[in-house]
Amino acid sequence: MKNKLFSATTFMILLAVTFVSAQDWPQYLGPHRNSISDEKGILRTWPETGPEVLWTVNVGIGYGGPIVKDGKVYLLDRDNKVGDNLRCFELATGKELWNFAYDAPGTVMFPGSRSVPAIDGNFVYSCGQYGDLYCVDINTHLPVWKKQIWTDFGGELPEGDPGFGGPFPTWALSQCPLVYGELVILASQAPDAGVVAYDKLSGELKWKTPSLGRTGYVSPTIVKIDDNDHLVMITASAGGRGGQELVPGNVVGIDPLNGEIL
């Protein structure tokens, strides 16, 4: 259960294209949040020995991933005894340029960071496993604003490993921020809010939906329907094993500007 780029000990950059001129990868699933790159000239097959490893660095445990913009790599990793750590590396060399760490101690099943940051302009947005959402200035390396997407909406943090069936998600919060226009959008999936949107510069809450269903591990995304942007969120199903009744999940369309359920 290890991401090929972000394992328990090592983060590596592989040479598959000449990356100095490669397209940025500024958020989860890439520029268009759909796992598709516009880059040309990408290798269709790798050499038998694999791509050349350019550099490696040691990082904390996790299942998240990096983003890349303007020759820099950003990654949220974690130390369960201390908390979360947003780190910035030089893409060409792997040199760590700066980091911003904050207290968020504790552990959950399969512990570690489990989200991908998003960068927009001079700000990078990241969300830790307990719901700590930070906007950090990439020039000062300091937080501009901070929110708690779980406890701000009626959720309670676990005192230990939450296990199965508790009020806190079994595998914690796995949210990759989505920047849409002037908004930063995430699915808090807390008791009093399903999806929430903040002003990306001030952190002001702009809208929230009611609870949409069971807590899952899906980040919202934008899709085009009849040439209109719809924010789509999928919630988790439950049961269906050993004779248990299946409780289906929901697929929900939302107006990304005001949170109206479509």
Contacts 24+ apart (CB under 8 A), 227-235: 229/180, 229/256, 230/254, 230/255, 230/256, 230/262, 231/178, 231/180, 231/185, 231/195, 231/255, 231/256, 233/187, 233/194, 233/195, 235/189, 235/194
Residue 87 has pLDDT above 60, yes or no: yes
- Residue located via tokens 């927009």: 120
Give the pLDDT mean for 81-91: 94
Q: Contact 256/229 with Cβ under 8 angstroms?
A: yes
Q: Domain for residue 262, yes or no?
A: no
- The CATH code of the domain that includes 153 is 2.40.128.630
Per residue in 241-257, pLDDT (tens digit) is: 777 888 899 999 999 99
In a domain, 3, yes or no: no
At 253, list the tokens. Answer: 């369309």
Whether 1 maps to a domain, the answer reads no
Number of domains in the chain: 1
In a domain, 5, yes or no: no
95, 45 in Cβ contact below 8 A? no
Closest CA to 67 of 18, 28, 106, 122: 28
What are the CA-CA distances from residue 120 to residues 25, 32, 42, 186, 200 (Å)?
Answer: 11, 13, 25, 15, 9
Residue 2 belongs to some domain of the structure: no
pLDDT in tens, 9-41: 567 766 544 444 468 999 999 999 999 988 888
> Per-residue pLDDT for 114 more than 60?
yes
- Residue 79 maps to a domain: yes
Residue 4 has pLDDT above 50, yes or no: no
Confidence of residue 89 (pLDDT cuts 50, 70, 90): very high
Question: The pTM is what?
Answer: 0.91
pLDDT band at 152 (very low <50, low <70, confident <90, very high): very high
Cα–Cα distance, 253 to 233 (Å, whole number)? 7
Of residues 141 and 13, more confidence is placed in: 141
Domain interval for residue 71: 10-254
The answer to whether residue 88 is domain-embedded is: yes
Q: What is the mean pLDDT of the chain?
A: 89
For residue 77, is it within any domain? yes
- pLDDT higher than 90, residue 112: no
